[in-house]
Amino acid sequence: MMRKTFAIACAAFALSGAASAQMAATQTVNAGPLRIEAPWTRATPGGAKVAGGFMKITNTGTTPDRLVSGSADVSSRFEVHEMAVVDGVMKMRELAKGLEIAPGATVELKPGGYHVMFIELKKPIVQGDVVRGTLVFEKAGKVDVSFTAAPIGAPAAGGHKH
């Protein structure tokens, strides 16, 4: 039953975030050559067991780095995921080796694409909450960030749609 509930929650997460919009200007954190911009999440409905985390990561250095794991104060587990359409079906999967940030590249973690998952939520996330998290990079190490909670179903940090 728990697996079915998790699958339903993941499907709802995927469908609610397919749109893309402007990111609101918020926190920027630098860790060596990495720049992490505008970490955000969404408020969750009561009973939800998962939530997504989003941001932009830019590598200004000359060697690749990799987001390999992390943690968040609201969840028991933290995973790095990707979503992609495979044979006409949206699929989500954990990236076992993490997410590479190539030199000179910017990777946007956003609804419907790359993102982090907060799994086994300890409490609902409420709009306006600040979720404390730590990102773990292969080379840059641990980086503390704060994810600002946008409204339920928001396509971007500010909750604005095109």
- pLDDT by position in tens, the chain (length 162): 545 444 444 544 444 433 323 333 468 999 999 999 999 999 999 899 999 999 999 999 999 999 999 999 999 999 999 998 888 898 999 999 999 999 999 999 999 999 999 999 999 999 999 999 999 999 999 999 999 999 998 887 765 443
Tokens of 85: 């359409």
pLDDT at position 126 is 96
Q: What's the fold here for domain 2-150?
A: Immunoglobulin-like (2.60.40)
Which region holds residue 123: left if phi is over 0, alpha if psi is between -120 and 50, else beta? beta
pLDDT at position 18 is 32
pLDDT at position 159 is 57
pLDDT at position 158 is 66
pLDDT at position 23 is 36
- The three-class DSSP label of residue 122 is coil
Amino acid occupying residue 81: H
Burial of 63 (0-12, 13-18, 19+ CB in 10 A): exposed
pTM equals 0.81
